[in-house]
Every structure is written in structure tokens, then in C-alpha cells.
């Protein structure tokens, strides 16, 4: 790139004739103003970041106490009063809310008095992959922060916005189907409202891996966005078939847990890195992958995220706990200390120098744990590199049928040999540490769940 050429496109100008310096639209100007603040706050020391989070949380909690029927009694019972500036111990007294609470509360979680300028409202639905689908309300303010963190992710990872973006993800039935897929002139509203972008192509994740590979090679994008399960299958297929999109610079993953196996598969197939995003429809962006490491930085300008142990205390670095999130800018339907259902490992401060808290690993849904006799739980550890060492495997899913029996569902080029099946059983039993009976069954295809998501482990036991 010539030294005279800007590193990234100039903001899109909203006024004819104002090419440079450009004059952004009102929305773009808000995004750029927020990005300027985020550029500074990412380098603040953790105590400073925490203080500002609590300052914003105090405003949100005061609003919830006064105008949200669900929260009022709970917050008063926790000893909080209107207008109170929250100290860390005050915030920690607020009861944790669950997905079941959201379902049961219904409209009682909606504010009776939305602050001026936060509207209009919009409904946001979860996919229901937890078995508990929920609808939440969003505002123009919460959508603004979603756009800003989208832009931060692009800028952190130095993407060339003038390149081509390909997405393989969930779409309504009949849309973006193979072979044509769908085409857009830009990367989408969140990015294109601020910066000029290249074109985007999209394909339904319900297409076969072979179809996805043909489509990917045909469009030859600079960047690929998809689910980790689809990406792993696609990379393995392309490596076996000797297919590489020449322009591909990086893959991005959303919605599911990204495993080391998938990162390795992309490096081996295409020589490109994978950048993961941790978000949820009801809370917005929670963490973005560090620009220089494979762990995550909590987006604490938008959420107050806690990783709590079984006693409700914050986890130290290296400890695994429940993820509890407060969305700091959604005043329409405040989610205050919401247990989202994930487990994660807290990380130490990052060598990159950012003060944003670190998540070392996102381990998956609490429900996706193997249940053992006696009440203990264990990780199934599906998707480890050991599984990829059996080349015939194309797709796999483990299902817990009883406290003593697991089913391992396989999609494979051929039935595995007795030695390969024994190896898989041995890997599973060594990882779980319990002598389960394991039934291996073969399938032509393993279906995706709601929203196109794929779960590599499912427990079919009744909740304890």
C-alpha cells in the first residue's frame, strides 16, 4: 500500500461534494464519537474501567428499580434505594436472574418509562437452542452499541473493508439457498453506515459442506464469517480436496463454541487465522478476540460481565465459572446480572496492555455437561484434535441417554474399523473419567438446531 493511501477507508460522507474531509451522517458521527472514546478506554487500568462500569450500572439499576415491575421488589429486597451510587458490594447483592425468569416475567420486565431518545423499540428473539426461547426488547441506543462493537472488531483486526465478505449462516427458509445464495452491495448496515465497503455474499448454512466449498471457491472472498461447526467441516473438506480460496485472509466465527480443532483445521487447510466473537442477541457483544492473542477481551464499555463460582464469588484467573452479564445500555428491558447459561474460564491480564478483562476460554453451555451418577458433572470435550486424527470422520455428536450410557453419532466416509471405534471410546472415557457404555451409530447427516446452530453434545436426561 502506498504511504499516501490511508490505512482504511475514510468515513462515508453524507453530503454531496464533501469528499474530503468527509461529513458523516448523524448515526455515523455517533459511531465515530463512541469509537474515539473506546480507543481510549481500552487502555485504562482495570480499577478505572470497573468504576465507570458501576457508574453506568447505577443509572441502569436506578431506572430498573423505579420503572420495571420485575426488578423493583428484587432490588429493594437487596437493600438498594433509588438514586444510589453502587459500590461493588451493593452490585453483588443483586439477585442473579435466569432465562426462566425472563420467560416467567413477560411484560413485567419492560420499562414503563423509556428515557427520551432511546427509542424506537425493537423485538429481539433468541434461537431457543437452550430449549427456552425468549423475546427481549432493544432500543436505538442498544443497537448503536452493537454497531460500534462491530466496527471495533473490524478495526482491531485490521480488516480491509474494501474486500469481499462471504457469510455462511442461518437464513429464513428459502433464502440464500445454494447455488446462487444472496448478494449485497456492502458488508451490512453496521459497517456500511460509517465506512465504504466491498460487496458481501451469503449462503444458508443448511447447504451441504460440498456445496459450501464450491460456493466459497466460486466467490473467492477476502473474509469468511460462519459458525465454528460449519467452518471446521468446510476446512477439513477443502484440505482433503485440495481447495483453497486464493484471496482468503481470515475466518470469523459466531454463535457456537470455537474449539482449538477448528482453529488448527483452518491453518492446515488455508493458512489463515480464525477470529471469534462472543455475543448473544439479548445482551449484544460480550467479548471480542484480542488482536494479538487467541483469548477474549470483555467489552466492558457495553456489558458488565462476571464469571462466578458455585458460591457466587468472582473466579480468579484459571478458574471456570458461570457467565453472568449486565447489558449496560438497554433501558427498555434491563437484564441485570443475567445468567446467560455459559461457562467460561477467567484469564490473567493480557500482555497486549489493554485493561479490558480477559476470558481465557469460553467452554460452552452449562446444559452441555455430562451428568455422572451421584450428581457430579464433567465436560464431554467433543471436538478435540484427537477426533480429527481419524480421517474418515466428517461429523459427530454425543448424546447422553442415561446416567450410564452415551450414544456417539457419526457421519463418516466409511464405517470405522474396530480399532478406530475402540480408539474413540478410549478417548471419551479418558476425558470424562467415568466408565460409560458408549454406543456408536452411523448417520447420513446430523441436523442443526434452531437458528442453524449445531450442538456437538446433548443431554437427554430430565433436569435434576
List, as one string, the DSSP characters of 190-257: HHHTTS----EEEEETTS-HHHHHHHHHHH--SEEEE-HHHHHHHHHHHHHHT---TT--EEEE-SSP
Same domain flag for 154 and 281:
yes
Residues near 246 by Cβ (< 8 Å), separated by ≥ 6?
220
Going from the C-alpha of 330 to that of each of 28, 105, 241, the distances in angstroms are 20, 17, 47
Looking at the fold, whether 430 and 349 belong to one and the same domain comes out as: no
Residue-level pLDDT at 119: 86
Residue 300 within any structural domain of the chain = yes
**pTM score:** 0.85
Last residue of a domain, one of 349, 366, 383: 366
Tell me if 54 is assigned to some domain.
yes
Cell numbers 448523524: residue: 26
Reduced DSSP (H G I as helix, E B as strand, rest coil) percent helix, strand, coil of the chain, to 5: 30, 25, 45
Q: At 401, which CATH number? A: 3.30.300.30
Contacts of 373 (CB under 8 A, 6+ apart): 403, 404, 434
List, in order, residues 6 or more apart from 271 with CB less than 8 Å away: none
Three-class secondary structure of residue 440 per DSSP? strand
User: Which residues does 345 contact at the CB level (< 8 Å), separation at least 6?
Assistant: 307, 315, 318, 319, 320, 359, 360, 361, 363
**222 inside domain:** no
In CATH, what number is assigned to the domain containing residue 334? 3.40.50.12780
pLDDT tens for 164-192 read 999 999 888 789 999 999 999 999 999 99
Residue 239 lies in a domain: no
Is 341 or 305 the better-scoring residue by pLDDT? 305
Mark whether 276 and 154 lie in a shared domain.
yes
The Cα–Cα gap between 201 and 165 comes to 6
From 310, 343, 366, give the residue that closes a domain: 366
**Per-residue b or e along 430-444, where b marks 16 or more CB atoms closer than 10 Å to that residue's CB:** ebbebebebebeeee
For the cut 80, the answer to whether the pLDDT of residue 383 exceeds it is no
Kindly state whether residues 86 and 152 are assigned to the same domain. yes
Inform me whether the pLDDT recorded for 350 exceeds 80: yes
Residue 227 lies in a domain: no
Are residues 430 and 407 part of one domain?
yes
**Of 72-81, 248-257, 377-386, 434-443, the least confident:** 377-386
* Model pLDDT for residues 412-442, shown as the tens digit of each residue: 889 999 999 998 888 888 877 789 999 999 9
Please check the confidence at residue 276 and state whether its pLDDT lies above 90.
Answer: yes
**Pair 234, 244: CB distance under 8 Å:** no
For residue 394, the enclosing domain spans 370-459
More confident residue, 440 or 457: 440
Residues 362 and 403 in one domain: no
146 vs 137: CA distance, rounded Å: 14
Clarify whether residues 41 and 145 are in a common domain: yes
* Grid coordinates belonging to 188: 451490512
Whether 112 is in a domain gets the answer yes
Quick check: 1 pLDDT over 70?
no
- DSSP annotation of 302 reads T
Do 323 and 431 have their domain in common? no
Same domain, 453 and 349: no
* Sign of the C-alpha dihedral computed for residues 46, 52, 58 and 60 taken in this order: negative
**Domain ends where: 336, 366, 396?**
366
Domain count, the chain: 2
DSSP bridge partners of 444: none
Note whether 147 and 296 are same-domain residues.
yes
Between CA 331 and CA 165 the distance in angstroms is: 33
Residues 359 and 382 in one domain: no
Q: Which residue has the higher pLDDT, 342 or 377?
A: 342
CA triple 340-106-120, angle to 5 deg:
90
CA dist., res. 103 & res. 133, Å (int): 8
Q: Is residue 266 part of a domain?
A: yes
Residues 134 and 264 in one domain: yes
Peptide bond into 237 cis (omega under 30): no
Residue 381: pLDDT above 70? no
Confidence of residue 375 (pLDDT cuts 50, 70, 90): confident
Task: Report if residue 355 sits inside a domain.
Answer: yes
Amino acid at each position: 500500500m502506498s504511504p499516501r493511501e490511508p490505512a482504511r477507508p475514510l468515513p462515508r460522507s453524507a453530503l454531496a461534494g464533501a469528499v474530503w474531509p468527509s461529513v458523516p451522517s448523524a448515526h455515523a458521527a455517533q459511531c465515530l464519537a463512541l469509537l474515539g472514546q473506546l480507543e481510549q478506554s481500552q487502555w485504562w487500568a482495570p480499577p478505572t474501567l470497573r468504576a465507570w462500569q458501576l457508574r453506568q450500572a447505577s443509572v441502569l439499576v436506578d431506572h430498573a428499580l423505579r420503572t420495571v415491575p420485575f426488578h423493583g421488589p428484587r432490588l429493594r429486597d437487596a437493600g438498594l434505594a433509588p438514586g444510589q451510587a453502587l459500590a461493588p458490594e451493593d452490585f453483588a447483592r443483586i439477585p442473579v436472574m435466569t432465562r426462566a425468569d425472563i420467560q416467567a416475567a413477560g411484560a413485567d420486565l419492560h420499562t414503563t418509562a423509556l428515557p427520551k431518545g432511546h427509542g424506537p423499540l425493537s423485538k429481539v428473539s433468541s434461537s431457543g437452542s437452550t430449549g427456552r426461547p425468549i423475546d427481549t426488547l432493544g432500543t436505538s441506543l442498544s443497537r448503536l452499541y452493537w454497531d460500534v462493537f462491530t466496527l471495533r472488531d473490524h478495526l482491531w483486526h485490521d480488516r480491509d473493508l474494501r474486500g469481499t465478505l462471504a457469510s455462511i449462516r442461518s437464513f429464513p427458509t428459502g433464502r440464500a439457498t445454494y447455488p446462487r445464495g444472496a448478494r449485497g452491495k456492502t458488508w451490512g448496515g453496521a459497517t456500511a453506515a460509517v465506512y465504504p465497503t466491498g460487496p458481501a455474499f451469503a449462503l444458508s448454512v443448511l447447504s451441504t459442506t460440498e456445496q459450501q466449498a464450491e460456493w466459497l471457491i466460486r466467490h473467492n472472498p477476502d473474509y469468511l464469517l460462519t459458525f465454528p461447526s460449519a467452518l471446521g467441516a468446510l476446512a477439513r473438506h477443502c484440505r482433503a480436496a485440495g481447495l483453497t480460496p486464493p484471496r482468503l485472509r481470515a475466518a470469523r466465527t459466531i454463535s457456537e463454541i470455537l474449539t482449538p480443532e477448528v482453529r488448527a483445521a483452518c491453518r492446515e487447510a488455508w493458512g489463515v487465522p480464525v477470529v471469534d466473537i462472543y455475543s448473544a442477541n439479548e445482551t449484544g457483544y460480550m467479548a471480542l478476540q484480542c488482536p494479538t492473542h487467541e483469548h477474549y477481551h470483555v467489552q466492558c464499555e457495553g456489558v458488565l460481565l462476571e464469571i462466578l463460582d458455585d458460591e457466587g464469588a468472582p473466579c480468579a484467573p484459571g478458574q471456570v465459572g458461570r457467565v453472568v452479564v449486565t447489558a449496560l445500555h438497554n433501558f427498555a428491558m434491563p437484564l441485570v446480572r443475567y445468567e446467560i447459561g455459559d461457562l467460561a474460564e477467567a484469564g490473567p491480564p493480557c500482555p497486549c496492555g489493554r485493561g479490558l478483562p480477559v476470558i481465557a476460554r469460553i467452554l460452552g453451555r452449562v446444559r452441555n455437561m455430562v451428568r455422572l451418577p451421584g450428581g457430579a458433572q464433567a465436560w464431554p470435550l467433543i471436538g478435540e484434535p484427537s477426533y480429527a486424527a481419524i480421517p474418515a470422520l466428517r461429523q459427530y455428536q454425543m448424546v447422553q441417554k442415561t446416567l450410564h450410557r452415551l450414544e456417539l453419532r457419526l457421519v463418516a466416509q466409511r464405517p470405522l474399523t474396530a480399532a478406530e471405534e475402540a480408539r474413540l471410546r478410549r478417548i471419551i472415557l479418558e476425558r470424562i473419567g467415568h466408565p460409560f457404555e458408549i454406543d456408536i451409530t452411523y448417520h447420513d447427516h446430523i441436523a442443526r438446531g434452531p437458528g442453524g446452530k449445531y450442538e456437538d453434545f446433548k443431554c437427554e436426561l430430565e433436569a435434576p
